[in-house]
């Protein structure tokens, strides 16, 4: 039997990684995007974002690159994609609508419509984008209506759980595969696509469409809840004089709770968790189930409050009062380490707030400088952590890059104006900094 031919529509984070991973699994892959610059870059084996291991994997498979398997190509031609694929993965993004909680389905809708019109042979279209529950039912009807192949073009829903920074590993070795299907043949095809990870033991959970869509939003809501829970505990610890890091460690030994995603700090950001919980609330409202998710409103406010609390902590460290004329070094701009993504980044938000209040903010980030500069051109930027800290009255650690844990506090102390460091991620070792003469404060932990 000839190996399946796979297409990937939308080559952002999710799609570019999925396309490269499918080629790695041995399939012939054709990726499509509507942005010509992305296609040009990917066709040269280059990635428009920083994601560890992704460029290497692309270069291993992109046709035309010396020594590659040639299994992966890119195009902008819908007819070519439709003619090529046995299985089409739709990986376009679903951002938050401007001025609303709901998610913007226009990219998904237009991708489905463009593809469907060209589908002349039997195939499986697989939705991977994070969508409001009920979308798959609607998109299945759209396929049936628009595809020349009619019922021969079937839909499946297969949410993606990859984390930025670990996208390649998460895609090649998923911790579970969720297949929302309406027929045994769709399930069989998806089992064929994922034969390797299934063989490695990845659980394969077969569901209906709504459940598959809900698994994704439920998972992200749970993760957001865990982070806001520990951040709420951090607030209580601050009021009561407790230590949230010790508290998290101690509750984490209970296997039912677990120790992951309990790092208190300035909270979650990025392109997924914040918009996904909001879209989930909006959708529940439409379904008349809004009461079930009112707690997510609280999760969102606890999270957003952290940023303001970090600003106040910085103000306090500077003796209270105004930021005017005070120099603030900010270590970290991305929403998490090992990524260059600054979308809804708590770190940049804090830097921006202090800047808007008159502080002289200098930011350094190992990978996020270009994106940060584009979003916040008026902040100061330094080439190294040392340069950012030079002359600073206070140092804020806001994204937990390994590089920052490996800094030498004595060297930084020699160039800072005041040795005051605030850890917004609870990732630095207080003892190391204090022994180098720094006043060290962290969110949810006692002052000394
Ligand atoms: C998330 C989900 O983890 C992933 O499964 C889904 O597919 C997409 O959304 P991602 O956005 O890459 O992935 O980031 P994640 O690692 O979940 O971190 C989200 C945010 O939470 C980051 O800003 C991170 O700094 C913060 N975080 C995480 C905490 O503040 N504390 C923690 O303990 C963990």
- The answer to whether the CB of 360 falls within 8 A of the CB of 318 is no
Residue 123 has pLDDT above 90, yes or no: yes
The predicted model gives 311-324 an average pLDDT of 96
Residue 58 has pLDDT above 90, yes or no: yes
Whether residue 300 sits in one domain with residue 172: no
Model confidence at 17, pLDDT cuts 50, 70, 90, reads very high
Measured distance CA(327)–CA(101) in Å, rounded: 36
What residues line ligand 1, using a CB cutoff of 6 Å?
A: 161-164, 220, 223, 227, 261-263, 265, 267-270, 272-273, 335-336
Residues 422 and 394: beta-carbon distance below 8 Å: yes
**What distance in Å separates the CA atoms of residue 75 and residue 58, rounded to the nearest whole number?**
15
Based on the fold, state whether residues 313 and 379 are members of the same structural domain. yes
Q: What is the mean pLDDT of the chain?
A: 97
pTM over 0.85: yes
Asked whether residue 158 falls in the same domain as residue 130, the answer is: yes
Q: What is the CATH number of the domain that holds 97?
A: 3.40.50.720
Is residue 157 included in any domain, yes or no? yes
Determine the structural domain holding residue 171 and report its residue range.
5-207
Q: Whose CA is nearest to atom 10 of ligand 1?
A: 163
pLDDT at 357 over 90: yes
CB-based contacts of 285, cutoff 8 Å, min separation 6: none
**DSSP character at residue 92:** -
The residues, any chain, with a CB within 8 Å of residue 238's CB and separated by 6 or more, are 443, 444
Please indicate, yes or no, whether residues 232 and 193 belong to a single structural domain of this protein: no
- What pLDDT is stored for residue 447 in this prediction? 86
Same domain, 345 and 391: yes
Q: Ligand 1: distance of its center to the CA of 273 in Å? A: 7
Residue whose Cα lies nearest atom 7 of ligand 1: it is 161
Same domain, 194 and 334: no
In the structure, what pLDDT confidence band is assigned to residue 73 with cuts at 50, 70 and 90? very high
Residue 225 CB neighbour total at 10 angstroms: 17
Domain assignment present for residue 215? The answer is no
| Atom 31, ligand 1: residue with shortest CA distance | 263
pLDDT at 1 over 90: no
Kindly state the percentage of the chain with pLDDT values over 70.
Answer: 100
Give the pLDDT of residue 344: 97
> By the 8 A CB rule, do 397 and 389 touch?
no
Q: Do 17 and 49 touch, CB atoms closer than 8 A?
A: no
The answer to whether residue 448 scores a pLDDT higher than 90 is no
Residues 397 and 351 in one domain: yes
Which stretches of 200-340 are DSSP H helices? 209-240, 244-252, 273-286, 294-317
Which residue's alpha carbon is at the smallest distance from atom 23 of ligand 1? 268
Q: Indicate the burial class of 312 (C-beta count within 10 angstroms; 0-12, 13-18, 19 or more).
A: exposed
Q: Name the domain count of the chain.
A: 2
Select from 207, 240, 268 the last residue of a domain: 207
Tell me the pLDDT band of 420, cut-offs 50, 70 and 90. very high
Do 104 and 236 lie in one domain? The reply is: no
Q: Mark whether 159 and 263 lie in a shared domain.
A: no
Question: What local confidence, expressed as pLDDT, does residue 325 receive?
Answer: 93
The answer to whether residue 216 is domain-embedded is no
> What is the average pLDDT across 412-433?
98
Q: How far is CA 408 from CA 224, 403, 405, 419, 434, in A?
A: 33, 10, 9, 13, 12
68 plus 167 within the same structural domain:
yes
Task: Give the pLDDT band of residue 14 (cuts 50, 70, 90).
Answer: very high
Set 91, 103, 237, 272: catalytic member: 272
272 counts as catalytic: yes
pLDDT of residue 48: 87
Taking the centre of ligand 1 as the mean of its atom positions, its distance from the CA of residue 268, in whole angstroms, is 6
């Amino acid at each position: 039997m000839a190996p399946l031919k796979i297409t990937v529509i939308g080559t952002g984070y999710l799609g570019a990684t999925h396309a490269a991973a499918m080629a790695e699994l041995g399939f012939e892959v054709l990726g499509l995007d509507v942005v010509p610059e992305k296609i040009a870059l990917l066709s040269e084996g280059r990635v428009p974002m920083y994601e560890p291991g992704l460029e290497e994997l692309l270069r291993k498979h992109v046709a035309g690159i010396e020594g590659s398997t040639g299994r992966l190509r890119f195009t902008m031609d819908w007819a070519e994609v439709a003619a090529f694929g046995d299985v089409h993965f739709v990986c376009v993004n679903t951002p938050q609508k401007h001025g609303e909680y709901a998610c913007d389905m226009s990219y998904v809708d237009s991708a489905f419509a463009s593809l469907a019109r060209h589908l002349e042979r039997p195939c499986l279209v697989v939705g991977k984008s994070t969508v409001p529950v009920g979308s798959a039912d609607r998109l299945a009807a759209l396929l049936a209506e628009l595809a020349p192949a009619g019922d021969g073009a079937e839909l499946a829903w297969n949410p993606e759980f990859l984390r930025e920074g670990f996208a390649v590993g998460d895609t090649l070795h998923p911790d579970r595969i969720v297949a929302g299907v309406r027929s045994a043949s769709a399930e069989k095809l998806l089992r064929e696509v994922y034969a390797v990870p299934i063989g490695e033991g990845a659980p394969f959970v077969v569901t209906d469409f709504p459940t598959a869509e809900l698994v994704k939003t439920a998972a992200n809501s749970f993760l957001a809840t865990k982070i806001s829970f520990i951040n709420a505990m951090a607030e209580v610890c601050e009021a009561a004089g407790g230590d949230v890091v010790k508290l998290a460690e101690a509750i984490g030994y209970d296997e039912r709770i677990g120790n992951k995603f309990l790092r208190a700090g300035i909270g979650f950001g990025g392109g997924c968790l914040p918009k996904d919980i909001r879209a989930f609330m909006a959708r529940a409202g439409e379904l008349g189930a809004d009461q079930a998710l009112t707690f997510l409103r609280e999760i969102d406010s606890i999270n957003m409050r952290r940023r303001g609390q970090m600003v106040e902590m910085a103000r306090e460290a500077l003796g209270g009062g105004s930021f005017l004329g005070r120099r603030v070094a900010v270590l970290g701009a991305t929403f998490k380490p090992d990524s260059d993504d600054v979308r809804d980044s708590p770190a940049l938000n804090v830097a921006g707030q202090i800047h808007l209040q008159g502080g002289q903010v200098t930011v350094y980030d190992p990978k996020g400088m270009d994106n940060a500069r584009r979003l916040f051109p008026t902040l100061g930027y330094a080439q190294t952590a040392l340069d950012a800290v030079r002359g600073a009255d206070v140092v804020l650690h806001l994204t937990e890059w390994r590089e920052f844990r490996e800094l030498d506090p004595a060297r930084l102390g020699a160039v800072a104006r005041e040795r005051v460091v605030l850890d917004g991620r609870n990732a630095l070792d207080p003892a190391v900094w204090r022994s180098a003469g720094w006043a060290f404060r962290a969110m949810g932990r006692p002052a000394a």
